[in-house]
């Protein structure tokens, strides 16, 4: 993979860089992507069906078991070279904003600060009635209940049909509009409104870079489609742009 010189120059001169990541950046950490075929017990379930309020209220135990399975998977995973390259890139540009659709917390574990979590996090649960956040993850296999009101707890993630956290979405939109360079990394670009962010960036004059082994509906619009895994391309791009970058 050759990183285009024009992109390297854009990055070196960029004052504001914004990055949107999806499940693909965690693939090389061994975390299945959202639309990868699910394995084992979960093979017969469509994630898009499970990640909904309807599924939760129809069968909260099934949905809790699914999230416990995913949290187990992600807690055993380690950040990969792609996550780490973004930590170093943030040190190299004047204004860096990291926006993620992921709920696995791997960016934070890699050392990224101030991560904008558009779809929530497996690190937290909340009361399904009062919305109050409960730090940590309820132990035990049963249905966890709110210590304050006794209602069901739910994972603190955004399900299909639910609004994204208003503050996170506003911050993400602002970063996309102000970006000199906008990266979309490891996302199928299918889920709204996150999928609008790269288009916002393009409309406001950003240089948009896509890093993905596959083509997506966005590929034909971006300035630099870099085809390949993030864990290989990001470190290469980092060192081509800033030869003294660490690691
Ligand atoms: C909302 C959290 C409104 C939970 C998730 C019809 C048309 C358009 C839109 C809609 C529609 N019908 C409904 C909608 C809206 C809907 C939507 O967009 N649906 C889509 C599917 C059509 N959106 C919503 O419902 C959103 N809310 O619109 O609310 C509203 C407003 C006000 C009031 C009330 C309501 C909520 C969306 C959030 C849903 N929650 N996750 C959980 O995780 O369990 S989204 C889910 O998909 C994932 O979590 C992830 O965040 C998201 C996107 O997936 P990706 O991250 O892209 O992962 P994917 O597997 O798809 O792709 C991985 C990519 O990585 C691939 O391209 C692959 O090639 C690549 N890859 C693989 N390996 C690597 C790699 N890349 C780099 N390196 C590698 N090594």
Provide, rounded to the nearest whole percent, the portion of the chain with pLDDT above 70: 100
Q: Is the peptide bond before 113 cis (omega within 30 degrees of 0)?
A: no
- Of 39-43, 53-57, 86-90, 100-104, give the lowest mean pLDDT range: 39-43
Q: Is the pLDDT of residue 4 over 80?
A: yes
- Of 39-53, 60-74, 120-134, 212-226, give the lowest mean pLDDT range: 39-53
Give residue 192 CA to ligand 1 midpoint distance, Å: 7
Q: How confident is the model at residue 113 (pLDDT cuts 50, 70, 90)?
A: very high
The C-alpha atoms of residue 210 and residue 225 are separated, in whole angstroms, by 5
Tell me what pLDDT residue 135 has.
78
DSSP symbols for 26-83: GGGGTPPPTTSPP-GGGGGS-HHHHSSHHHHHH-HHHHHHHHHHHHHHHHT----HHH
Q: What number does the ligand 1 atom closest to the CA of 51 have?
A: 44
Ligand 1 — pocket residues by CB below 6 A?
22-25, 27-28, 33-35, 51, 101, 103, 119, 157-163, 186-188, 190-192, 211-214, 216, 229-231
Indicate the top mutation candidate among 1, 27, 34 to test ligand 1's pocket, ranked by most ligand atoms within 8 A of CB.
34
230-241 vs 5-13: helix crossing angle, rounded to 10: 70
Q: What number does the ligand 1 atom closest to the CA of 214 have?
A: 69
The C-alpha atoms of residue 41 and residue 82 are separated, in whole angstroms, by 30
164: three-class secondary structure by DSSP: coil
Residue 119 is among the residues annotated as catalytic for this protein: yes
Domains of the chain listed by start with CATH number:
5-31+79-119+158-241 (3.40.50.1220)
């Amino acid at each position: 993979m050759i990183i285009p010189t024009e992109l390297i120059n854009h990055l070196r001169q960029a004052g504001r860089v914004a990055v949107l990541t999806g499940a693909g950046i965690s693939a090389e950490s061994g975390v299945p992507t959202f639309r990868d075929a699910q394995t084992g017990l979960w093979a017969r379930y469509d994630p898009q069906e499970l990640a909904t309020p309807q599924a939760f209220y129809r069968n909260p135990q099934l949905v809790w078991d699914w999230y416990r399975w995913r949290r187990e998977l992600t807690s055993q995973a380690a950040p990969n070279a792609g996550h780490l390259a973004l930590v170093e890139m943030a040190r190299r540009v004047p204004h860096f904003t990291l926006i993620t659709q992921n709920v696995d917390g791997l960016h934070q574990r890699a050392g990224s600060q101030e991560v904008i979590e558009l779809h929530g996090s497996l690190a937290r649960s909340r009361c399904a009635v009062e919305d109050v956040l409960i730090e940590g993850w309820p132990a035990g296999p049963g249905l966890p209940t709110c210590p304050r009101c006794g209602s069901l707890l739910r994972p603190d993630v955004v399900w299909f049909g639910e609004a994204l956290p208003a503050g996170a979405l506003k911050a993400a939109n602002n970063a996309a509009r102000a970006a000199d360079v906008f990266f979309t990394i490891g996302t199928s670009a299918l889920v709204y409104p996150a999928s609008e962010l790269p288009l916002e960036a393009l409309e406001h004059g950003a240089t948009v870079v896509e890093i993905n082994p596959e083509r997506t509906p966005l590929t034909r619009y971006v300035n630099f489609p870099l085809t390949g895994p993030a864990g290989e391309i990001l470190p290469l791009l980092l060192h081509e742009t800033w030869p003294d970058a660490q690691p």
